[in-house]
Amino acid sequence: MSTRTETPTHGPLAVDGVSSDEGHAALRASVRRLGELLGESLTRHEGADLLDLVEQVRALAREPDDGAKLAELLSGVDDRTAIVLARAFTAYFQLANASEQVHRGLELSRQPAGGLSAAVQRLHEAVTAGDADPREVREVLGRLQLRPVFTAHPTESSRRSVLDLLLRITAIVEASEDPQQRAVDAERGRRRLAELVDLLWQTDELRVERPRPADEARSALHYLRTLSADVLPDLLEDLEVGLAHAGLDLPAGARPLRFGSWVGGDRDGNPNVTPEVTLEVLGLMHEAALDVLSAAVRELRTELAASTQVVGVSAELAASLERDAHLLPEVRADRERLNGEEPYRFKLSYALARLEGTRARLRSGGEHVPGLDYSGPEEFAAELRLLQDSLRANDGDLVAEGSVARLLRTAHAVGFGLATLDVREHAERHHAALAAVYDRLGELVQPYASLDRDSRRRLLSRELAGHRPLIGAAVRSLTGTPAQVMHLFATIRASLDRYGDDAVESYIVSMTQGVDDLLAVVVLAREVGLVDLADGGRGDGAGPGDVARIGFVPLFETVTELEAAEELLEGLLSDPSYRRVVAARGDVQEIMLGYSDSSKDAGIAASRWQIHRAQRALRDVARRHGVVLRLFHGRGGSVGRGGGPTGEAILAQPYGTLDGPIKVTEQGEVISDKYVQPRLARHNLEVALAAALEASTLHRSSRLGDDVLDAWDGTMDVLAAAGQRAYRSLVRDPGLVPFFLAATPVEELGNLNIGSRPSRRPGGTGGLEDLRAIPWVFGWTQSRINVPGWFGVGSGLAAARADGRGEELREMYASWHFFRSFVSNVQMTLAKTDLGIAAHYVEELVPAGQRGAFDVIREEHARTLEQVLWVTGQESLLEGAPVLRRTLELRDAYLAPLHALQVSLLARARAAGEGVDPALRRALLLTINGIAAGMRNTG
C-alpha cells in the first residue's frame, strides 16, 4: 500500500477523508481477477502441484501459531522451488499494486473538483476580503515555481521491463471498469490481460547488472516525456485560467511548474557519475525535450488550418514568413503546394525545421546560425507569441488562448532540456583542489589543509574579492581529485555554453559545515568563468558586469548542520562578494535540507523538528538580507527518509518559508507510484502545485499567536530532545550493528543492482556511519521493524506528557498542520510495522547473545503505539481509515509467506558462507524484491 501519492494518508480509496467501501469492493474484485490469471499462468508454466504449494504456504502463514509448520515446510523446499514461490508472491503484489493505482485514479476522477481550483478560490476570497495584498500576490505569482527533482537514488526495485508490462495491464484493467464497454471489447481485454500476465511471469524481475547513470537517465526521461506531453499542458492551463477568473494573472514568461533532475549530476559518493556522463545525460535530456516540442508543433500544425481565403494575418507574421522563405527555401518548396494559403501551418513548418536544426547543433556542439536553428527556447517561444498576436488580431482569440497558449506554456516549462540538471559534490573535494593550488603557489604560512575554518573563510573571501587568476594555465599540472574537480567545473561551463543557462542551475555542496565550504566552490567556479565579479560592483548589489551562471547551494544533512544553518547563511550573505553572487542570481538563495541523514543521525522526531526550526531561522535571515529563499527538500520515499504526501508537507512548513519557489526530490519507487498513471500524475502534481500556491500567498504570516507558538515550540523541544536521546541510545549501542546486519537482509542489497551508486560511503570503516540512509531504511523495512520511521517518538511523547504538556499535545494534533502531519506519518509507519514477523527474523537469524536490541525496540514500540493512540484519541491504528486497514490486512496475507521464505533462505545462505549457490542467492533476492513490492517501500 503506497503512502506517497497525494491522496491523503487515509488510503488508496480515501479522498478528502471519505472512504469508499464500494470502491474497496471493486478493488478486491479486480485483484482477485488478476490473481486468478496469475494462478492459471503458474499452472501452465510450473504445474498444478506448485500452485497447490503456493496456496499451502499462504494458508500456513495465516494460521495463528508460532510458524513452526510453515518453517518446517519451507526448510524442505529446494532452491528452484523457492525461486518459484518468491516469484509467485512478488507477481501477486505487482498486480495488486497495478490494480490499486487504477482504482485510486478512478476514485479521484469521481470526486468534485478540488486541489488547484480550491486553492485559487481561497486566494480570490482572501484578496477580495482584503486579507491578501493584490500587488504582493501578483509579485509572488511571478516567482511561483514547483520543481519536482527526479533522482536516481536506488530505491526502485522493479525493472523497467516489468513496469512497462504493468502499465499495459493497468490500461486494460481501467478499460474493464467502464460500464459502457462493449462485450466484444471486454472479451478481447480478458484475452489480452491473460497474455500480459503470462508475459509478466516470463519476465525476469532482477537486473542482470547494475544500471549505468545513462540507463537511470533514460528511466527518468520516460516519465518526464509523458508528464511534459500529457499532464503538464492541461495542468498549467487550468492554473492560468483559474487565476484569470479570480482576477489574477501569471506574468508573461512565468514558470509555475518545472522539472529538475539529479540523474547524471549527483557525484557525491558515486564514482560512476563522471563529467563525461554529465554531458551524455544532458544530450539525452535535450533530445527528449526536442522530441516533445516537435510532436506538439506537428499536432498544432495539423489543427491550425486557418486560410487566408477566410481570415487575414498580421503584417508581422507575413514579414516573418518572407524572411523564413529566404532562410529555409527547402521548407518553402516542400510545403508551398500544400499550405500556400495556410500561413500558420507554414510558420509551424519553419519552426519544425528550426527545431531540427537546433537538434543537429546541440548534437555536434556547433555554433548557432540565426534563422536556421534556435539560440534557445525563448526564441522559439517568441515565434509562438508571433502566431498568437496574429490570431488575436484576426478573430482567432480562442485558438490563440487555446492550443497556441498550451504549447507556449509547455515550451516555457520544459525549455529545450525537459528538466534542469543539478550537480552535487562533497565539500571536502573542493578543499582538496584548493589545497593543491595554494600549496603549489607557496604563499601561505601553513598548508591550506591545516587551516581552520575561519582562516579558510577569510582567505577565500579575500580571494573572491580580488581579480587574479588563481590557477590559470597551471590547471594542466593538477592530478587526482583536484584535476577531477576542475574538470567538472569546466564541463559545467561547456554545458551552459552548448545547451543554455537552463541546462545546469544549482551546484549543491554535500556536508556543508561552514561558510568556507561555499566560498571554496565559488572561487573554483570563478576560475573557469562561471563567476565573474567585475570591477565596479560593491555592497549588496550586483555590479553592472557581475556574472554568476550557476547558483551555489549548501546542503544541511545532519541535525548538527541544521542547528548551525542560521549562522552559516548569515555569514554567507554578510560576505560582500558572495552577496554580489546572489544578487547576480536574481537575489535568490537556494538551501537544501536533507531528511534522510538527519533522521539516521538523530531519529525522526529530532530530524523533523530541527528541519522545521531551521526553515524558520533561514527565512528570517533571508528576509533581513532582502533575498528570496528557495528551499530544496531532499525527501525520500519512506517516512523514515522524509516521505509522505508532498502537498501536506508543503502546507506544514512554517509560515513565510515558501516565497514562491520550492524544489522537492522524487526518487525510486516514488516516481513510478506517483507518475505511471496519467490520472495519478495529474492529481499528485496538482495537489503539490496547489499547496505551493497557497503556502506562498496565504501563509506569509503566522496564523497563531506568539504565545501559542512559543508554548508549542517548547513542547516540541521536549519531545524532540527525549526522542533523540532514545534513538541515539539505540544506534550508539555497540550491539546494534551486529543485530541490524543479522536481523535484516541489508548486506544483500548490493546484489539487487537497483542503482549505480554504492550503498556505502567510500573510505569508511564499514560501520553504521558509512551506511547510506537508503540501505539503513531498506533493511529495517524488509524485516518489518521500520525503526527509522517511529523509534524515539514514543519516548518523546511520553516525556512531553510527563512534563505536563499532554493536553497541549492534543491541541497541537488538532490545530497545527506540522504536528498533525508528523504524527500521521508515524502512525502510517507503525501500521506497517509487525514485530511478530520481526521476531521470527530475530529468533532464526540473530545469535542469542546479540538480541538485546530487540528488547529495546519492543519496549519503545509499545510506548510509541500507546502514546500515538493517546494523542490521536484512537483505540487502534488507522481507526479512521478502514479501507486502508483492510488493504494492509489483505497484503499481510501474502507478505507473511514471503517473510517466512526470506528468513529460511537467509539462514541457508549464511550457513553456506562464501559458497552460496547462485540459485539460492537468486531466490533470496526475489524475496527482497517481493517484500519491497508488497510494502511499496524499499528506501
Integer CA distances (angstroms), 205 to 156, 201, 689, 701, in order: 12, 9, 35, 50
Task: Please give, one letter per residue, the 3-state secondary structure of 483-530.
Answer: HHHHHHHHHHHHHHHHHCCCCEEEEEEECCCCHHHHHHHHHHHHHCCC
Given the residues 103, 222, 347, 600, select the one marked as catalytic: 600
In Å, the largest CA–CA distance within the chain is 91
DSSP 760: B
C-alpha dihedral sign at 89, 94, 99, 101: positive
Which of the following is catalytic: 153, 612, 625, 899? Answer: 153
Nine-digit cell at 96?
A: 495488486
Positive or negative: CA dihedral 767, 769, 772, 773: positive
Nearest to 778 by CA among 789, 767, 763: 789
- Residue 71, exposed/middle/buried by CB under 10 A (0-12, 13-18, 19+)? middle
Task: Name which of 566, 559, 649 is nearest 604 in CA terms.
Answer: 559
C-alpha cell of 142? 511571478
Rounded Cα distance between 149 and 434, Å, is: 30
Contact partners, residue 101, CB within 8 Å, separation at least 6:
170, 673, 676, 677, 680
Asked whether 758 and 729 are in contact (CB, 8 A), the reply is: no
**368 Rama sector, left if φ>0, alpha if ψ -120 to 50, beta otherwise:** beta
CA distance 895 to 1: 12
For residue 510, give the H/E element and its range: strand 504-510
Q: State how far the Cα of 156 lies from the Cα of 583, in Å rounded to an integer.
A: 39
Known catalytic residue: 663?
no
Contacts of 901 (CB under 8 A, 6+ apart): 57, 74, 77, 82, 85, 86, 89, 923, 927
The alpha carbon of 893 is separated from its chain's Cα centroid by a whole number of angstroms, namely: 31
Give the chain's radius of gyration (CA, Å). Answer: 29
Rounded-to-integer distance, Cα 572 and Cα 622, Å: 11
Q: What is the DSSP letter of 230?
A: I
C-alpha cell at 613: 526550526
Contact 509, 518 (CB under 8 A): yes
Rounded Cα–Cα distance for residues 349 and 331 (Å) = 7
DSSP code at position 787: G
The answer to whether residue 600 is catalytic is: yes
- Tell me which DSSP letter residue 784 carries: T
Asked if 478 contacts 486 with a C-beta cutoff of 8 angstroms, the reply is yes
Q: Please check whether residue 95 is in contact with residue 930, taking contact to mean a CB–CB distance below 8 angstroms.
A: no
Whole-number Å distance between alpha carbons of 246 and 121:
7
| Distant-in-sequence, close-in-space partners of 29: CB < 8 Å, separation ≥ 6 | none
Local structure of 304: helix, strand or coil:
coil
Q: Is the dihedral of CA 493, 481, 593, 701 positive or negative?
A: negative
Backbone angles phi, psi at 577, to 5 degrees: -70, -45
Q: Report how far residue 159's alpha carbon sits from residue 203's, in angstroms, rounded to the nearest whole number.
A: 10
For residue 928, count other CB atoms closer than 10 A to its CB.
Answer: 27
Bridge partners, residue 666, by sequence: 150
**CA dihedral over 698, 701, 705, 711, signed as positive or negative:** positive
Query: What are the residues whose beta carbons fall under 8 Å from the beta carbon of 90, sequence distance 6 or more?
Result: 205, 898, 926, 927, 929, 930, 933, 934
Q: Are 8 and 648 in contact (CB under 8 A)?
A: yes
Active-site residues: which are they? 153, 600
